[in-house]
Amino acid sequence: MTGFVTFVSAGPGDPDLLTVKAVKALAAADAILFDDLSSGPILALARPGADLVGVGKRAGRPSPKQDHVSRLLVDYALTGAQVVRLKSGDSGIFGRLEEELTAVRAAGIGCTIIPGVTSASAAAAAAGIPLTRRIHAQRVQFITAADTTGDLPPGLNLEALADPQATTVIYMGKRTFPTLAAALIDRGLAPDTPALLAEAVSTPDQRLHRSTISALAQVLAEDRSSLPGLIIFGALADGVAD
């Protein structure tokens, strides 16, 4: 009998930010294939005896290939298992969800997706800011600043990213931010545009660093921690106006 795959979005790391539906799926799973950033206390919600398999990818570290992860999902489900693919943040935002959905569906296996809190929302909440503001920040844009090689992706719409009336959130961009910031400043974005670096959001290691795009680029060019982080820049990044 063929099993079933549930793609569970784990949120940014705090188990309290899981949805009720996600908690139920974890408790019912025979096997959980988890990312590095969705491990730790969240895995304590798995039922006793469930197989826990780490398949996470981290920049600069040995990681399983995507086709291997997809194959594991299919193989577990073909045994009749209820499988949870536990992904950090929201699985549909820079989470390689599409490749795994394609593999599961091609094998004739049923699946469903449980959405979750993306790191952008969690970081903004931790910093006490909204992501939008009438008139001054009517648009939010999410980008990844690392391609499969870890470099700045080609073809980024730099003109859109330099829009001072947008809130921009950069995932996986600490290493490439100095290059990106220079390109945006060349396209007219003010060097003193507020920027927020949020690391290990919602975990005991959380760090929030308010700066400007120019100053943050210099900081990240000289020193970067190993903590997972994202960058928010735009008018709202320095806090809510009084």
Rounded-to-integer distance, Cα 175 and Cα 164, Å? 23
Q: How far is CA 59 from the centre of its chain?
A: 13
- Amino acid (one-letter) located at 106: A
Tokens for 176, please give them.
């490439």
Torsion of CA 39, 45, 50, 54, to 10 degrees: -10
Exposure of 132 by Cβ count < 10 A (0-12 exposed, 13-18 middle, 19+ buried)?
Answer: middle
- Return the bridge partners of 111, or none: 5
Tokens for 14, please give them.
């705090």
CA atoms within 13 A on the CB side of 26: 22
Which residues belong to the active site?
35, 57, 172
Query: What's the 3-state SS for 164-183?
Result: CCEEEEEECCCCCHHHHHHH
Contact 213, 195 (CB under 8 A): yes
- Return the bridge partners of 209, or none: 197
Q: Strand, helix or coil at 93?
A: coil
